[in-house]
Amino acid sequence: MRAIFYIDGFNFYYLRTKHQPHFKWHNLKALADNIVPEGTTVEKVKYYTAPVSGKLDSDAPRRQMCLLSALRTVDAIEIFNGRFLSQEKWSGLIKPARAKPNGYVWTQPEPDVVMVRKTEEKGSDVNLASHLVRDAFTDAFDIAYVLTNDTDLVEPMRIVKEEVGKKICIVAPNRPGRHSPRNIPIPAPSLMAVANFPHYIDDVELEASQFPKTVLRLGKKPISRPETWV
């Protein structure tokens, strides 16, 4: 069986590694090899991400580049960049207004509309969906492993499974029963409905898939794991 992995980078980050920094230094090809059963060959790992901003954390872009540089040392990994769009816009206010972390409720008169800062990742989901469908129609794989909880990918996954006849495994960043920050089950039921079966990443697989502390590169300076990722 030929497999290709399609990894929604920020979905993986927010649902798993954000709060487990010791797993951030991950070799995604090694992780894929640890997930597939015997007899399945991982042909490619396609990683969809976007350059992060340094507005809130000035060192975040450097840490991300360390990881991307390490991933680029692995021939089977392909990286596809989208972009972040951050803007301030007017949005309706839920009443009574609630605030994190203590759930404080406003008692003074509240406006109907407030200015909010909205940050969106653009392009990654479209890139992943396009490549998934194209690769299915060109017979690039027998089974696709899709790591995401983005329900926008339901239709392209359905096409790959039902119209092209390829198998799909929905890869969940966490164990069964977990929910996303928006309280959506992982995997989302609509994604499960168009997949052949799920796989839940566990700590053993992640632990076994980490790069060494220093990644050597031919003719280039070695790359070191960021010190905060321990």
The per-residue pLDDT of the chain, averaged, comes to 88
* pLDDT for 181: 59
* Last residue of one domain, picked from the residues 99, 120, 141: 120
**Number of alpha carbons in the 13 Å side-chain half-sphere of residue 86:** 9
Same domain, 178 and 67: yes
- Are 180 and 149 a contacting pair, CB within 8 Å? yes
Its pTM stands at: 0.84
Extract the tokens encoding 48: 């969809």
- Are 193 and 157 a contacting pair, CB within 8 Å? no
CATH (domain of 31)? 3.40.50.1010
Q: Is residue 166, in this structure, part of any structural domain at all?
A: yes
Q: 179-225, pLDDT tens digit by residue?
A: 665 566 788 999 999 999 999 999 999 999 999 999 999 889 999 99
The total domain count for the chain is 2
Look up the domain containing 104 and give its range.
85-120
